[in-house]
Structure 1
Amino acid sequence: MSELTQGGFRWKVRHTILSIIWAGWLFSFLDRMVISIALPFIGKDLNIDATMQGGILSAFFAGYALFQIPGGMLADKFGPRKIMSIAIAWFSVFTTLTGFVSSYSIMLFCRLVFGVGEGCFPGASWKMIATYFPPKERATATAIQSSVNTLGPAVASLVAAGIIASYGWRHVFIYLGFPGLLIAALMWYYFRDNPAKHPKITKEELQELNIDQVQGGHDTNSSGITFKTFLTKPILWQMVLIWFLFDITFWGFVSWLPSYLMKVRGFSLIKTGITGSIPFFVGTVGMLVGGYLSDRIKGQRKWMFIPNALIAGFFLYLTYSVASADMVILYQSVSAFFMFLAMSAFWGLVMDTIPPHIMGSSSGTVNFGGQVAGFISPFIMGYLIDANQGSFDEAFIFLIIAIIASAAVAFTVQQERSVSEVKV
């Protein structure tokens, strides 16, 4: 890829790597999120109620959560290149297979095994970013990568609605599996675990990375702390709990938004696809703004997270309590903006705190907390909806309490230390 020098910016190997990782994350989100749009049609086809539909969503998170830490440990041991390539190929195959499922039990199994493949991907991707990006750029790079948390559901909403309306829900999954295989092959070809061994990297970029202190892709000057020792650090478990509570809100918001718009607000499938994507496009802006600001107020990230999480919770309350269906989209969009701005601040804290040489296993541990929430949240929301005769009010209260609690835990974080300050 050619270098761009205008405005003082030059395209570097790390930018190409981030672009490919971003594409991998985008399709991982498309593969997992289209089921939220397809869920009412799957429920009708398989003759299952809202609680059982929530079980389908939770089955994915069971596999996804269980393999966060093992996937990160594998990335630390064998390198992120191999783990990411295999993981994307794995979950792409099971995305396609989902379109051929004809029974509830097989659907649960397919989504569980699909989640296993996706679970190995996040820790490896964060490790690759920590390896190729200098500390001053990591929060921004992570925010760009994490923009798929918002853009993925937005694109999924549009793509899935169009395909389902034309061909039915099965074709969505069948088609989406193939691009992932191409991305997996590209990662295998282009990535290197050690930047010094990358054939395209320049001496200037290696100097930016202080490559003389990096051996085998590991930062030997970060502290020498082991993953086992880092598990004893309170700040790690504070981050796990914050992400667990925050992701209860995130996954509940994402997973049930299409059903809420169709069942409660009376939106058609196409209208749901279009209007349901708006909050996530707005959230993408919030994510990128948050990453940019987070790199410029380093050491104060929790004070970005706390107020924005609380504002997001307030607008979630307005979302379900307002009478106007049009105002629902406005309030959802405002909530999404602040929710994802808070998310950028949080992952900036994670990238600050974890040494690069244990980034895979440690970030996988943090993300494990979030994916346990992803397993719990859709199921509990489905139960609350059934228990309240189709009303979503109690389910929204559940989400609001969770995001407020995440802000409360963030308040207990005593200090934000760079990886060089983390002592054994």
Structure 2
Amino acid sequence: MTVPKEDRRPGAPLTAWLGVLALLAVVAISYIDRVNVSVLITDPAFTQHFGIAGNRAAQGALMTLFLAGYGIAAMLITPWYEAVFGVRRGLLVSLACWALFTLVSPYAGSALLLLTLRFLLGASEGPLFSLKTMYVKDNFAEGAWGKPNAVSSMGVSLGTALGIPVITFALVHFGWHGSFLLLAALNLVVGLPLVALFVRSVRRRTAVREPALRRFAGALRTPKLGWILLIEVATLGYLWGSTSWLPSYLLQARHFSLAQMSALSALPFVVSLGSGFLGGWLIDRLPGRRVPLVLVIGSIGTALCATTVTFADSRWLAAATLILANAFWGLQGPAIPTLVQQYAPAGSVGSAYGLINGVGNLVSALLPTLMGVAIAAGGDHGFAAGYALLAATQLLTLLGAVVLLRGRAPAGKATAAAEQPVARSR
């Protein structure tokens, strides 16, 4: 069994924060990868080439299959990454795979082959957030996880905010083929060097590695696992549903120009950058058992704003409430990894987050396709039906957060204290 031997230092060293910033960039690149097809399905040349023009369900499946691969890998491959590779080597392997699958995607000869490559790309990205969560717990003291969780998770909003304008620019100037080649270059030229240079472990880990299966079994024993899973499903459902259909909604339902769509698609995620950091700041100032309060506030605000979108007559009011909805959604971001770090058994944090993130992605992967079906069936009010589904996800987050608030507090520092005699017995 692995026994972590720790070299705790007062405060977080600069090297730990450089690793957090590198992770932020890697997460951002991964999210530019993910939103790529959200823009490409608005391009007639792309949809006609693969025979999916006018087929909303097939277009939604491009994201759904990506998320299915991501979820399976996050759940089943992460314990192996945690046991064998560790954070740094695991990230290097993942980035190399991202680059490969993105590079060959424009040369797929059919929609079936493209869907297969999307599944494989998702699988190669599956362990990312578990590795990120492991890095934060390994390099920062308990009670100081909120801000590094928030900063590294800001890559979600940054990548989504940059992704739509960057892919739109590539689409206009280089065609849809060029967007895939640009993403492969980002993985190779930016992602790999950042991880190689800056992602290091502050703690020293020695002793025999614990088998992956045992880590997975430990993850299954995480207290409140079902409720944290429900929150993850709802949070990711909102993310995937909104990012998959936002460009189409702005262009086709609200009749914004391509330039306006590009800017308005980025703004919700720019706003969530700031709200995500605010969420991390609040978490570090709340008692551990009160962390779900951030989820309560965020879910109520997001649900109200998403509901307003469905009734708004003015396209500018709809755009403004979409931006505000993402501000409330972003507030919730740092809470989930913090809950996993609090509740997961020692030595199984990465596997626990992989299980939660994997199942969360597998279930939430259905939402882009369900929204596509709702949009197609709803006629003139199709997009309103789609956004009503997004509002419903936040009611699930609210339910899970209230249950966590009313339950027993996580073990918290008791767990860390229990590890200290082992760490001193070197």
When normalised by structure 1's length, the TM-score is: 0.87
What per-residue deviation string (whole Å, max 9, x for no partner) do you get for residues 281-320 of structure 1? 0111111110111111132111121122011111001112
Q: Distance in 2 between matches of 1:217 and 1:245?
A: 38
Match of 1:322 in 2: 312
The answer for the alignment partner of 2:29 in structure 1 is 27
Of 352, 368, 372, the residue aligned with 2:362 is: 372
CA distance in structure 2 between the partners assigned to 1:150 and 1:375 by the alignment: 19
Structure 2 residue 391 is matched with structure 1 residue 400: yes
Distance in 2 (CA, whole Å) between partners of 1:161 and 1:217 is: 49
User: How far apart are 1:377 and its partner, in Å?
Assistant: 0.8
Q: Is the 2:83–2:209 contact (alpha carbons within 8 Å) kept by the matching residues of 1?
A: no
Residue 67 of structure 1: which of 70, 73, 89 is its match? Answer: 73
CA offset digits 1:381-403 (Å, max 9, x no partner): 11111122362111111111121
Q: Retained in 2: the 8 A contact 1:27–1:152?
A: yes
Answer yes or no: is the 8 Å Cα contact 1:76–1:361 preserved in 2. yes
Verify: 1:248 aligned to 2:254, yes or no. no
Matches within 5 A, 1:245-394: 245-299=234-288, 300-355=290-345, 357-389=347-379, 391-394=382-385
**Worse-matched range after superposition: 36-45 or 107-116:** 36-45
**Preserved contact between residue 310 and residue 388 of structure 2 (Cα < 8 Å):** no
The answer to whether the 8 A contact 1:80-1:125 is kept is yes
Equivalent residue number for residue 131 of structure 2: 124
Structure 2 residue runs without a partner (length 5+): 1-9, 419-426
Instruction: Say yes or no: does 1:110 pair with 2:117.
Output: yes
Aligned in 2, Cα 1:251/1:416: closer, same or farther, shift over 3 Å? farther
Contact 2:82 2:350 in 1 (8 A): yes
Q: 2:92 aligns with which of 80, 85, 92?
A: 85
Deviation track 1:247-271 (CA, whole Å, cap 9, x = no partner) reads 2122111211111101100122221
Q: Please state how far the C-alpha of 1:136 moved relative to its aligned partner.
A: 2.5
Once the two structures are TM-superposed, the CA of residue 361 in structure 1 deviates from its matched residue by 0.5
Kindly report which structure 2 residues correspond to 1:137-176, keeping only aligned pairs within 5 A, or say none: 137-176=144-183
Give the residue type in structure 2 aligned to 1:138: W
Matches within 5 A, 1:92-103: 92-103=99-110
Q: C-alpha distance in 2, partners of 1:140/1:324?
A: 37
- Segments of structure 1 that go 5 or more residues without pairing to the other structure are 1-7, 197-213, 220-224
RMSD: 2.5
SS at match of 1:137: coil
Which letter does structure 2 place at the counterpart of 1:54?
Answer: G
Q: Please, which of 188, 213, 235 is the counterpart of residue 224 of structure 2?
A: 235
Q: 1:329-367, CA deviations, whole angstroms, 9 ceiling, x for partnerless residues?
A: 210111101111022233322222224521111111111
Residue identity matched to 2:316: D
Counterpart of 1:52? 58
Q: How much has 1:215 moved relative to structure 2?
A: 4.0
Kept after mapping to 2: 8 A contact 1:123/1:361: yes
- Measure, in 2, the Cα distance between the counterparts of 1:324 and 1:346: 35
Secondary structure of the structure 2 residue equivalent to 1:16: helix
Q: Is the CA contact 1:352–1:418 (under 8 Å) kept in the aligned structure 2? A: yes
The aligned counterpart of 2:400 is 409
Q: Give 2:40's aligned amino acid.
A: A
Letter in 2 for 1:121: L
The alpha-carbon distance between structure 1 residues 217 and 118, as it changes in their structure 2 partners (threshold 3 A), is: farther
Letter in 1 for 2:171: I
Which residue of the partner structure matches residue 134 of structure 1? 141
| Match of residue 195 from structure 2 | 187
User: How far apart, in 1, do the equivalents of 2:229 and 2:365 lie?
Assistant: 15
8 A Cα contact 2:16 2:200, kept in partner: no
Distance 1:331 1:115, change over 3 A: same
CA deviation map 1:135-160 (0-9, x unaligned): 22212101111112211111011111
Q: Distance in 1 between matches of 2:319 and 2:207?
A: 49
